[in-house]
Amino acid sequence: MKIPKLGLGTWFIPDDQAAEAVRQAVELGYRHMDTAQAYENEAGVAAGVKSCGIEREKLFVTSKVAAEHKTYETAASSIDETLSRMGLDYLDMMIIHSPQPWNEFRDEKRYYEENKAVWRALEDGYRAGKLKAIGVSNFLVDDLESLLADCTVKPMVNQILAHIGNTPEELMAFCEKNDILVEAYAPIAHGVALWNRELVAIAEKYGITVPQLCIKYVLQLGTFALPKTATPAHMVDNAKLDFTVTDEDIGILKRLSDMKDYGEFSFFPVFSGK
């Protein structure tokens, strides 16, 4: 499994705009596209994949089983529905979007057994060749431990919210210890980072933009990055990463105060008001 380290996140990109966003991204060198059943733009992303002029085998396409699917049957059906909706013979990766339904996210009920059932559906899809890789998203250490205790195929990826001001080091260390790649979604903190004066000052020191600093930060921590944008100019800037942040500045960035009030992005479409 070889995943491009920089991908295009498509959360909040409407279905009728997703194809053009994918085509633009591919033209600019991106080869990794990330969507989800909950984003309601799988068809648009797939249209872009099929019309971008690059062979399918050279693109890495990820989708996610909706957080509300917590049985083997509903998860297995949703995988087939995604493939049908996208008109693709296979997905490069399918992941469980969340260990809990979004309206119960981080509540007391942990859904350990239900996630094992969903995981079996992913394992079967993997063995059938429908999915080239399988993983999870938003899973904490105990969620991962539960799966690892029973699985026949280990999760290959844990896609998590990780950015300056929100660096879950214990979780990332657990993933590394268990050979689970970490993908950082929203590395620019849903745009909140743009207005942080400390980040602006550090970015100016390197002669770069705040988004470039944020993306390079998670990459230097060993994660893969999935910045979301439908704007070609931002796609270009986000990929200009030929610089290195010093260890001293990485340490400063790790210690920056939390940036967890994401405004409108704290809710729609997957967080169900939580």
Question: How do 157-161 and 134-137 pair as beta strands?
Answer: parallel
Lookup: tokens for 90: 């296979």
Q: How far is CA 87 from CA 47, 75, 90, 115, 195, in A?
A: 9, 18, 9, 27, 40
- Provide the H-helix boundaries in the chain: 15-27, 42-51, 72-86, 112-127, 141-150, 169-177, 197-206, 210-220, 232-238, 247-254
39, 111, 126, 217: which is the annotated catalytic residue? Answer: 39
For residue 185, indicate whether it is catalytic: no
d(CA 213, CA 216): 5
d(CA 185, CA 34): 10
Q: For the chain, what percentages of helix, strand and coil (3-state, to nearest 5) are there?
A: 45, 15, 40
d(CA 81, CA 95): 15
d(CA 89, CA 15): 20
d(CA 246, CA 226): 22
Lookup: tokens for 85: 């909706």
Active-site annotation, residues: 39
